[in-house]
Chain A
Amino acid sequence: MLKVNDINVYYGSIHAVKGISFDVNKGEIVTLIGANGAGKSTILNSVAGLLKTRTGSIEFEGQSILGTAPHLIVSKGLAMCPEGRRIFLQMSVEENLEMGGYTRKNQEAEQSLINVYDRFPRLKERRKQQAGTLSGGEQQMLAIGRALMSRPSLLMLDEPSMGLAPILVDQIFAIIKELNESGTTILLVEQNARMALSVADRGYVLETGRIVSSASASVLLNDDAVRKAYLGG
């Protein structure tokens, strides 16, 4: 479904992503794990079109999306829920969701809104509230709900557990699992490698802009090197 081949990304003169290749198949949860600064978010931002990829290729559903403007990538069915949630704090909950469905026809968007409210009743309760007044967990739900509004076939999630209390982290990962079961393919970037691998089918381990190993999630969970470096022994 998503095929990333040998991409190189630079921040000015800093070579942040060095010849990375990976792919995501339909129906999977794939996770990219690695330390802070390993280049995980950079990869997602490049796929989403926010960052320029200098060389390499990115294909989504068999079509090249390299160099496509980010707002056009969304309408192809590839949505991203960015790091730090980035919800529109000064807009209401419902307006945030409406923005999520920006690319779609009004009727379709309305149907999506009903679906999102079904999945997150909490958001329905607070629909008129300003998004900035929500709690951290609610904001993350809103961010995910907003990304779902475009009915993506592939959803990229960047650090969805960041800054959340453990009980909320569990909840978010349960939601991710549910989403996947209902047919959404997921590419997940996480610092919380244990949680990520526990829901994922496959994982890639990144170190300073390179992929150092890739395997099924259960293999990675039991890999000594991975355990030592990312799972706390």
Chain B
Amino acid sequence: MDFIAYLISGISLGSVYAIIALGYTMVYGIAKMLNFAHGDVIMIGGYVSFVATANLDLPPAVSIMIAVAVCTTLGIVIEKLAYKPLRAAPSLAVLITAIGVSYFLQNAALLIWSSNPKSYTSLFKFEPLKLLDGELTIASVTIVTVITGVIVMTTLSLIINKTKIGKAMRAVSEDKDAAQLMGIGVNKTITITFAIGSGLAAIAGVLLASAYPILTPTMGAMPGIKAFTAAVFGGIGSIPGAMLGGILLGVIEILGRAYISTQLSDAIVFSVLIIVLLVKPTGLLGKKISEKV
């Protein structure tokens, strides 16, 4: 029974990773950049929803909407100010800029909310689910997280595969020049991608803060790195890959923590990643990219 409980909380954590990883993978697919500041947008999402609930006394749903709105705007602004001027720059330069943005967000949060951890009250206050005569208890936040994960992933798949803008995003990620020749505005598409990714980060921030209710300015860094490895794990640039990678990573982390070692759970996660990359260098669902001569 323990195992099932661990599995469920692994899937729950994995859903959060998957939501974050989707942001990484979409941006990577379209802008070919590693947006290292993505994890810090999660943190901002957590703090904004905290302020909305604890300080402004707004209902949970409204606080989530505000967090999503703020992060979406933030994502667009970051892209416009920091990344857009570097569209033609070497990827390393863009990476360092993203690191600069990450430092900026962390330190801005430090100034606004101080380094003292804030304790977050979960937005999901209903009773935990008790199954099998109380032998299996599932926390409310776990249920909400898994359901949210399913909704986000389905919606995003629909957007990417069925809508005009989603198809345009795929076209841009496959061949930027050809997409332009179709009349697709690359800049606009990239902006929309950042907006969606950052909005998802806000949702991840609320879920993460509800599950691990301590807010600090650096809280987004580690989940960010792990979600990024999840994206690589599943095959960076691949939407289903990010979902699969995220969930597997969450499950491995929780099971590793439960059965092997608490302190080594991160090491286990990263070891699995290395093994996968060595066996299949483009990740689980990644496509093989042939090298240009």
Binding site for B on A (CB under 8 A): 48-50, 69-72, 74-75, 79-80, 82, 86-91, 95, 98-100, 102-103, 146-147, 150
Selected contact of B183 from candidates A75, A87, A90, CB within 8 Å? A75
Distance (whole angstroms) from the CB of A169 to the closest CB of chain B: 22
Contact A82 B177 (CB under 8 A): yes
Bound complex: CA of A96 vs CA of B278, how far in Å?
34
Across-interface contacts of B264 in A (CB, < 8 A): none
Bound complex: CA of A144 vs CA of B181, how far in Å?
12
Contact A74 B181 (CB under 8 A): yes
Bound complex: CA of A87 vs CA of B178, how far in Å?
7
Across-interface contacts of A80 in B (CB, < 8 A): 181
Question: Which DSSP category, helix, strand, loop or mixed, fits chain B's interface?
Answer: helix
Binding site for A on B (CB under 8 A): 164, 167-168, 170-171, 174-175, 177-186, 287
CB within 8 Å for A102 and B183 given contacts A88-B170, A90-B287, A91-B167:
yes
Question: What 9 pairs between A and B have smallest CB-CB spacing?
Answer: A103-B183, A74-B183, A86-B178, A70-B180, A99-B182, A71-B185, A102-B183, A71-B183, A102-B182
CB within 8 Å for A69 and B182 given contacts A90-B287, A99-B168, A99-B171:
no
Distance (whole angstroms) from the CB of B236 to the closest CB of chain A: 15
Distance (whole angstroms) from the CB of B172 to the closest CB of chain A: 10
| A89 and chain B: residue at smallest CB distance | B174
Q: Which of B177, B178, B184, B186 has the most CB of A within 10 A?
A: B178
Selected contact of B174 from candidates A49, A82, A90, A103, CB within 8 Å? A90
Distance (whole angstroms) from the CB of B202 to the closest CB of chain A: 29
Contact A82 B164 (CB under 8 A): no
| B167 and chain A: residue at smallest CB distance | A95
| B186 and chain A: residue at smallest CB distance | A71
Contact A50 B180 (CB under 8 A): yes
